[in-house]
A and B are shown apart, each in its own frame.
Chain A
Amino acid sequence: MSEHKSPGTIGFDTLSLHAGQAPDPATGARATPIYQSASFVFPDSDFAAGLFNIERAGHVYSRLSNPTNGVLEERIAALDGGVGAIATASGQAAMHLAVATICSAGNHIVSSRSLYGGTHNLLEYTLPRFGIETTFVDPRDPAAFAAAIRPETRLVFGEILGNPGLEVLNVPAVAEVAHQRGLPLLVDATFATPYLCQPIRLGADLVMHSATKFLSGHGVVIGGLLVDGGAFDWESGPFPTINDPYVGFHDLVFGEEFGPAAFITRARKEGIRDFGACMAPMTAFQILQGLETLPLRMARHVSNAMCVAEFLASHPLVGSVSHPGLPDHPDHALARELLPKGAGAVFGFTVAGGREAGKTLIESLNLFSHLANVGDAKSLVIHPASTTHHRMDAKALQAAGIGEGLIRLSIGLEDADDLVADLSRALKRVGRMRSA
């Protein structure tokens, strides 16, 4: 699905500021108010019944929907080119909501093996307890996705930029594989944000984000977003949650009644209602503040990241730098095609001397904060094998390209020269350690 722009269409930067929000009709407030209310008063009994029966538009209870969250949901749906979205308590909750809305016990997922550690944990260890299994495949090999599909497969999944190896998911190719078998493709676009890549426009059916990262951008909230592209033909396969009567809602058939909004409506009417992993309105407000400057911040994140990556790539103590913006990255050409504005600001590198050298380097940095997060305005550093991905065994770590010496950076908005100077000084200490 390519991008179409006709006269009157609103641009990305404008949508980042305005989509989903009109000045508050009650007060005239220009900023999105924080509707810190658990419930909303019904004007009369029939209106109340209508809200519960999906015949009236409005809010009932903030687990199900909230006006502040609604602005955020609409804004991310606009930026990603979807039909609607749901804000969740975390990125993990968004992932779970997507899986739980599609899959039931006995179903199967085909996933890229290059994943955030928490997502790998959910798919590899936790979901099997609920009867949902996952086969992990090389994200660079669309044929491997095809080969892993079974009769009981219901979902194909990958990260647009793998964590932490930065493999670029060939979304058009993997989407074609999925669609040929009647399956939806879910893409985690956390590292890219819609500023760098809109997977729905490349063929993905669903997109999820950890809004904790670049979308909010300041490391102050935990939140997730799930976006429905609205184009997947759910009738093409056995998706009973969409195509069959739902006894939990008076035999409502979401696919019949809601057209392009069938998935996102089911996710709201079942997943958010029953699992309850909703976002707090204050969190939605803070993420909205971040979204207002998303285009400005992402451009700076990306340019700073390229400066740092190029510095590291030329340093004698650095073994390898895995950033798709560098010409020697295996996915450089694909990144230029799918992420023309840049391949993000999170990447890994290895330092000569293995784990001890990595430890010295991390502990010698001043500007970079050693913590488990990415996408902050401030630059961050971590050693994945001992932290974010420590639950993976040696074989899985190797398959995901996570070596003992790998260090992951999330490049922030500082002056690029200061970041390079900080790394340069830390690498000098590594050099002294190695020669001692």
Chain B
Amino acid sequence: MRLEVDGKAAFAATGSAPHVPGRRAAVFIHGAGMDHSVWVMPARHFARTGLNVLAVDLPGHGRSKGPGLDSIAAMAEWVVRAMDAAHLEAAAVVGHSMGSLVAYVLAAQHPDRCRALALLGASAPMPVTDALLDAARDNDHAAIDMANTWSHSPRAKLGACPNPGMWMLGGGERLLETAAPGVFHADLSACNGFDPEADAGPVRCPALVVVGEADQMTPARAGIRVSERLADAQVERLAGCGHAMLSEQPNTVLDALTAIVP
């Protein structure tokens, strides 16, 4: 779906189905340097089962024009305006990694637009190492290598992808390479600068926090601490799963989401 947000062209996948007025909605927000394509499977599932799906490309990512935004709060406000452009009111809001922070802030700041919340690979705060920030600032490919390697569990570094024939490390690397110069650094800086006390606030809608027990980027314990900040949260633990949970365990993630998104 092609949208115009803040006067700029933006894109959001709909799970290959047109929106139907009056249906419940689900909004998906990707992580740092990524785009809507990480959500292809849940987007297609919830579109087939009757939801209006909006898997956005944040500014500067995928098919949405840049530049990238420099704070989680700005991204959350942008997603709300994207929902406006798509004529979506309240939605189940689902975010992964950086996108989980965006979803968290959206739910806190716009409770009328978020009927349910799902946070995948979340940590609040979400500190980023200087080595990764510095490499991303310099548009050094080492930033992609670090993020991509650390995003996969030890098992996933050798593959065995549930999606036949797909090499997860290769897919992650290529996707991160598509981000325009500066965007990955802006994303990581936004994560690093996120302060849950100042930037978010109470969240009262039903929530699900999905943690990967082999997640090096946002360890499971960090996700559990996020769940403790939410008024009504369940935790789903993915055994052996790294940060790249949408490619490592897509079926388990979808099973978890079906409990809260519809």
* Chain A positions near chain B (C-beta within 8 angstroms): 4-10, 15, 18-22, 49-50, 53-59, 64-67, 69-71, 73-75, 77-78, 81-87, 229-231, 250-253, 256-261, 264, 268
B37-67 vs A, CB cutoff 8 Å, 1 = contact: the mask equals 1001111110010000000000000110000
Chain B stretch 22-48: residues in CB contact (< 8 A) with chain A: 35-37, 40-45, 48
**Given known contacts A6-B149, A259-B175, A260-B178, A54 and B41 CB-to-CB distance under 8 angstroms:** yes
User: Across the interface, which residues of A come within 8 angstroms of B167, CB to CB?
Assistant: 19-20, 74, 77-78, 82-85
Question: How long is the Cα–Cα vector from A257 to B171 in the complex, in angstroms?
Answer: 14
Q: Which 9 A-B pairs have the closest CB atoms?
A: A259-B37, A73-B165, A6-B145, A65-B164, A57-B162, A55-B45, A77-B167, A260-B174, A230-B174
Q: Which of B152-160, B183-191, B219-227 contacts A (4 or more CB under 8 A)?
A: B152-160
User: Across the interface, which residues of A come within 8 angstroms of B161, CB to CB?
Assistant: 20, 57, 70, 74
Question: How long is the Cα–Cα vector from A422 to B200 in the complex, in angstroms?
Answer: 79
Complex contact B254–A55 (CB within 8 A): yes
Residue B142 CB within 8 A of the other chain? yes
Residue B177 CB within 8 A of the other chain? yes
* Chain B residue at minimal CB-CB distance from A20: B159
User: Across the interface, which residues of A come within 8 angstroms of B164, CB to CB?
Assistant: 57-59, 64-67, 69-70, 73, 268
Question: How long is the Cα–Cα vector from A85 to B168 in the complex, in angstroms?
Answer: 12
**Given known contacts A58-B251, A260-B171, A260-B174, A253 and B142 CB-to-CB distance under 8 angstroms:** no
User: Across the interface, which residues of A come within 8 angstroms of B155, CB to CB?
Assistant: 22
Residue B206 CB within 8 A of the other chain? no
Complex contact B16–A57 (CB within 8 A): no
11 A-B residue pairs with CB within 8 Å = A9-B149, A9-B157, A53-B45, A58-B162, A58-B251, A70-B165, A73-B164, A78-B167, A83-B171, A256-B13, A257-B37
Of the listed residues B150, B166, B175, B178, the one surrounded by the most CB atoms of chain A closer than 10 A to its CB is B166
Say how far A20's CB is from chain B's closest CB, in angstroms. Answer: 4
Of the listed residues B44, B150, B177, the one surrounded by the most CB atoms of chain A closer than 10 A to its CB is B44
Say how far A389's CB is from chain B's closest CB, in angstroms. Answer: 33
Of the listed residues B13, B37, B160, B251, the one surrounded by the most CB atoms of chain A closer than 10 A to its CB is B160
User: Across the interface, which residues of A come within 8 angstroms of B174, CB to CB?
Assistant: 83, 229-231, 259-260
**Given known contacts A10-B158, A54-B41, A259-B35, A84 and B170 CB-to-CB distance under 8 angstroms:** yes
Additional A-B contacts beyond A19-B159, A83-B167, A264-B166 (5; CB < 8 A): A9-B149, A10-B157, A57-B163, A65-B164, A70-B164
User: Across the interface, which residues of A come within 8 angstroms of B150, CB to CB?
Assistant: 8
Complex contact A21–B142 (CB within 8 A): no
Say how far B169's CB is from chain A's closest CB, in angstroms. Answer: 7
**Given known contacts A258-B40, A259-B35, A22 and B171 CB-to-CB distance under 8 angstroms:** no
Question: How long is the Cα–Cα vector from A367 to B178 in the complex, in angstroms?
Answer: 52
Q: Select A261's contact among B42, B44, B166, beta carbons within 8 Å.
A: B166
Question: How long is the Cα–Cα vector from A18 to B159 in the complex, in angstroms?
Answer: 8
Question: How long is the Cα–Cα vector from A306 to B242 in the complex, in angstroms?
Answer: 45
User: Across the interface, which residues of A come within 8 angstroms of B102, CB to CB?
Assistant: none
**Given known contacts A4-B144, A20-B159, A259-B62, A264 and B16 CB-to-CB distance under 8 angstroms:** no
Question: How long is the Cα–Cα vector from A7 to B132 in the complex, in angstroms?
Answer: 13
